[in-house]
Structure 1
Amino acid sequence: MGRSSDILKGPEWANVRALYKSSGFTEEELKKPLIAVANSYNTVCPGHAVLKQLTQRVKEGIYAAGGTPVEFGTIGACDGVAMSHKGMQYILPAREMIADDIEAMIEAHRLDGLVILGSCDKIVPGMILGALRVNLPTVFVNGGPTLPGRMKEGNPYGGEYIDHSIIQQSEGALSQGSITQEEFDWIENNAVPTIGSCAMLGTANTMCCLAEAMGLSLPGSAAVPAVYSRRQSIAFESGVAVMNLVNKNICIKDIVTKDAIINAIKVNSAIGGSTNAVLHLLAISYEAGVDLDIFEFGKVSMSVPHLVPMIPAGQYTLLDFYEAGGIPVIMKELSSILKLGGITCTGKSMEDNIRSVKNKNRDVIRSLDHPVHTRGGIAVLKGNVAPDGAVTKPSAIPEQALKFCGPAKIYESEHEALEGIRAHQVQAGEVVVIRNEGPKGGPGMPEMYKVMKVLVGMKLGSKVCVITDGRFSGSNNGCFVGHICPEALDDGPIAYLKNGDMITVDILKGTVEADVDFEQRKHEIVRKEKTPVQGCLYQYRKNVATASKGAYIATKES
């Protein structure tokens, strides 16, 4: 029957049965497979507010299919609320905390299967990492995106929809006098009209889409809006699906193979997904026991053109993507370059899952011979500034900024950079360097989201390039390069750049170079002392791997 029966049968385990019975479980329920339902419901993160309802429907599906659900919760921090203050240091480390939660609860109670429910940036990969560690039959359910706001006149994305990311961009426009305070207030109050993960293709929706692309969630489920009734029925069907996996003994590592991860990289490039997908898919590869490095990621990604013009790399939102057919349709469009024979959470192959789907809007989901951009959605750069790699998003970079050369403007932190930008210190043509914000340096590898959004709002998005050992949000656009490795705290070259150094970023060539002799420079510069940290950030700084490996904390003997 499974692992739980090992501690539920016979008089020697009566104490365990008694504990379950004290919560109201019956003898008959305890004879069935015990299925964990792990969710990150809270009322802080709007992407997770719907998870209470969805969890109930998942549990009903498990009961209907012959299992007994047992529910527990984990944390789910909101990147948007944590943006651009000390709180952002905790966001990426929370991924590992969530994985630890799931591993500990599953193993402590010897449960037989797992349904994970989450929606947002680091929660989704954190749950997948935890599920991979315990390797049980697993189905992922996301809460769904919010409906977008509507703004036809003066829409910076060129369409009729807006999302949360426009608000920070509008701060720059307000400071320039391009919009009034009244217009700014309207945007704040109308950009996010419902609960759900942000309506654009940020990291939240990217990772939900990629989970589906790997076969971990039901076909067509990733982009269903949070407020649609279909979201509730998907939750029920996911409860049924996990029982099918339990009965067939199909575990998560049977699904998350090298082919599945490569498929996800290709889908990410085609939809123009978040740069954070690099961190997360590398970490997922590590836990899945799959051999994948950042440069293979970049090579695969740049081989696939950008096919879906979603905000911030186009005018459409997740609602448009859902109505066009979502992940099954983009995988059908990419079928000639994907490996679709692997098993999925339906118990069938991906090829079977997408066999009958049809593209309902070819303006939203393009074909391989009619791309939005011929270049890939994600690029991995290398050069004397980033010998171990750096990450950017060609699909979100204006054509005129694909090659950028200019003098360095150095900032030692995101906070310092924001102060300088708001004081109009940054001039067109400069390369803004923000360092000491890597996984160890931050610590926690904070997003430089607000920096880039304010610059775009000031109409400097294509006139200034930002490079950093920190990272960016999936909603960022403009000219930017993140994940520069080694980071400053690891004695990376970025630590030795000076104001005025000429830096060249060439996206299509895949290079980021400075006209600097770094070996000589190391003898000339005294590096900034790292800021002491405590609590979980101390443990994170001490143990985290470099961003070029996925910024994970090792969980295996080397």
Structure 2
Amino acid sequence: MFHRSKDILNQPEWSNVRALYKSNGFTDEELEKPIIAVVNSFNTICPGHYNLNNLTQYVREGIRAAGGTPVEFGTIAACDGMAMGHKGMRHILPTRELIANDIEMMMEAHRLDGMVLLGSCDKIVPGMLMAAARLDLPAVFVNGGPTLPGRMKENNPYGGEHIDHSIIQQSLGSLNTNTMSWDQYMWLEDNACPTIGSCAMLGTANTMCCLAEAMGMSLPGSAVIPAVYSHRMAVAFQSGKAIMTLINKGIKARQIITREALINAIKVNSAIGGSTNAVLHTLAIAYEGEIDLTLEDFGSISREVPHLSPMIPGGPYALLDFYEAGGIPAIMKQLETVLDLDTMTVTGHKLQENIKHAKVLNKDVIRDLSNPVTTSSGIAILKGNLAPEGAVTKPSAIPKDALKFTGPAVVFESEKEALEEIAANKVKAGNVLVIRNEGPKGGPGMPEMYKAMKMLVGMNLGSKVCVITDGRFSGSNNGCFVGHICPEAAVEGPIAYVKNGDVISVDVEGGSIEVLSEDFEDRLKEKIQLPKNKSKGYLHVYSNIVTSASRGAVIPTREES
């Protein structure tokens, strides 16, 4: 049995530590058992985390029922949806490393034996999985579950009957062009998010919860149970018991988070049409687990699996539909011929055992490999003279007529500058909008160009304009877009040399992104004036030490070998 807390709880040498525990009401009997951390990212700001205090109670009960002693501590959890489109978005990606660091510090300072991690949203989930991989202790991840979707059958832009809060920003473009009334817009505000929970569509939050299950770090079938369903509480209790199984069997996180498990997760991401942010986060988890995985690997692995589940924004279905169709076990059952079924999971069993009885209950929501939504992968990696280290896009969210796009560049030095032009209806069909200085260093913080893309879609320009950036996009974005262009402008990447009028070609299926102007290669040899980094506080520290998005935008935590 894995029990490192004994190192600081043995009598008489460590009676001072025992006395501190006893001042909290712990007994001698409890201190003889494994001490398990319940890592709670609850707050009353982020709706995906609003129910976590309730779930931690069930986790603690599960730990106690299985012979452990639970202790609890908290960590931050910012809401991407609330941070969109303003300077707050620069602070979102950097929280991922803060979360991983917080967990490491608490676990190591107190020599805790294992941990159950509770989170739901975009950067919190990968931050927790990074901590698990870094610490290599027994760990189980539990998410709070997606919200139930809003319902809107008439004029639904996704083609189904469900909507999510992301429709509101998209509809702002419609409101600005007078194709939607004020009353219609206000109805969306009041009805798009009927319950607590992470987003109802397949944004980054739900993508990462699905991938946590796919890589074996969550109980089978748990990723997409709606936040308000009673089964969510039962899973929390069972997860508390599961951590004790891992403790008793001596199974640590790196026995679960392996290269093979991450490859499984990448294939699932492609099949469900997951967020482009999954690229950053999977590379970051691999880094913390000291696993050899590259951006090129992500692209080549993704190409092996077509898009099978048309969820918003890449189709009409919400996470509720996906849950009712069988969820992650069902789609992994569809993919079992291309998955490594010998990977270990938090159940203490191999993946093959976990999905043995899984069934697809709705073949419109989860399709067969022989009947994909598209033959394109969910994620594509592009390269070319504009992105020699790579760039990321999402074929499943791009209209077919925009998978190849060539047009003159209109260059913006920031997201703010681009939003002003879009709001003023100055953007023309056929243009390639270049938004630069928004990478991990240049942003700093690599903000999402969510609002710009949503407004263009609402203005019926989603497939008529292509947006490219060294920043990111939201998992909810659709239209023609390419992000994560590397190297970024702040380190004199080629995107810094693009001029208005340069002809840019984006070929998603061909995997290329090129500036076609004849003088571009000569231009790259010139020295240019870069914007001065005026960031302060943690963003100043972050911008000076963060790595390229092509490496996961991680802060190095060890010396490179």
* TM-score bracket, shorter-length normalisation: over 0.9
Hey, what does 1:256 align to over in structure 2? 257
| C-alpha distance in structure 1 between counterparts of 2:220 and 2:532, whole Å | 46
Instruction: For residues 109-151 of structure 1, give each alpha carbon's deviation from its aligned partner in whole angstroms, at most 9, with x where no partner exists.
Output: 0000110000000000001111111111110000000000000
1:500 aligns with 2:498: no
1:430 aligns with 2:431: yes
Q: What SS does the corresponding residue of 1:262 show, helix, strand or coil?
A: helix
TM superposition shift of 1:296: 1.1
Q: Residue 508 of structure 1 aligns to which amino acid in structure 2?
A: E
Map residues 473-512 of structure 1 onto 2, 5 A cutoff: 473-512=474-513
Instruction: For residues 246-281 of structure 1, give each alpha carbon's deviation from its aligned partner in whole angstroms, at most 9, with x where no partner exists.
Output: 000000100011110000000000000000000000
Q: What SS does the corresponding residue of 1:474 show, helix, strand or coil?
A: coil
Hey, what does 1:543 align to over in structure 2? 545
Q: Residue 544 of structure 1 aligns to which amino acid in structure 2?
A: V
Q: Residue 49 of structure 2 aligns to which amino acid in structure 1?
A: H
Q: What SS does the corresponding residue of 2:95 show, helix, strand or coil?
A: helix
Quick check: 1:281–1:550 contact (8 Å CA) kept in 2? yes
Aligned partner (choices 536, 541, 545) of residue 534 of structure 1: 536
Instruction: For residues 163-218 of structure 1, give each alpha carbon's deviation from its aligned partner in whole angstroms, at most 9, with x where no partner exists.
Output: 01100000001111111000000011100000000000000000000000000000
Quick check: 1:397–1:477 contact (8 Å CA) kept in 2? yes
Q: What SS does the corresponding residue of 1:267 show, helix, strand or coil?
A: helix
Quick check: 1:46–1:196 contact (8 Å CA) kept in 2? yes
TM superposition shift of 1:476: 0.3
More moved, 515-524 vs 202-211: 515-524
1:206 aligns with 2:207: yes
TM superposition shift of 1:527: 2.9
Q: What SS does the corresponding residue of 2:438 show, helix, strand or coil?
A: coil
Q: What SS does the corresponding residue of 2:368 show, helix, strand or coil?
A: coil
| C-alpha distance in structure 2 between counterparts of 1:10 and 1:474, whole Å | 52
| C-alpha distance in structure 1 between counterparts of 2:57 and 2:547, whole Å | 37
TM-score in terms of structure 2 length: 0.99
Quick check: 1:433–1:467 contact (8 Å CA) kept in 2? yes
1:299 aligns with 2:300: yes
Hey, what does 1:230 align to over in structure 2? 231
TM superposition shift of 1:528: 3.5
How many residues matched? Answer: 558
Q: Residue 25 of structure 2 aligns to which amino acid in structure 1?
A: G
Q: Residue 547 of structure 1 aligns to which amino acid in structure 2?
A: A
Q: Which structure 1 residue ranges, 5 or more long, are not aligned? A: none
Map residues 99-114 of structure 1 onto 2, 5 A cutoff: 99-114=100-115
Map residues 322-361 of structure 1 onto 2, 5 A cutoff: 322-361=323-362
TM superposition shift of 1:523: 5.9
| C-alpha distance in structure 1 between counterparts of 2:520 and 2:548, whole Å | 20
Q: Residue 211 of structure 1 aligns to which amino acid in structure 2?
A: A
| C-alpha distance in structure 2 between counterparts of 1:289 and 1:523, whole Å | 36
Map residues 307-456 of structure 1 onto 2, 5 A cutoff: 307-456=308-457
Hey, what does 1:554 align to over in structure 2? 556
Hey, what does 2:278 align to over in structure 1? 277
| C-alpha distance in structure 2 between counterparts of 1:140 and 1:70, whole Å | 16
Hey, what does 2:520 align to over in structure 1? 518
| Identical columns (%) | 68
1:64 aligns with 2:65: yes
Q: Residue 175 of structure 1 aligns to which amino acid in structure 2?
A: N
Hey, what does 2:141 align to over in structure 1? 140
| C-alpha distance in structure 1 between counterparts of 2:147 and 2:545, whole Å | 36
TM superposition shift of 1:470: 0.1
| C-alpha distance in structure 2 between counterparts of 1:450 and 1:216, whole Å | 32
Q: What SS does the corresponding residue of 2:504 show, helix, strand or coil?
A: strand
Quick check: 1:305–1:374 contact (8 Å CA) kept in 2? yes
Hey, what does 2:472 align to over in structure 1? 471
Hey, what does 2:91 align to over in structure 1? 90
Q: What SS does the corresponding residue of 2:434 show, helix, strand or coil?
A: strand
Q: Residue 482 of structure 1 aligns to which amino acid in structure 2?
A: G
Quick check: 1:489–1:530 contact (8 Å CA) kept in 2? no
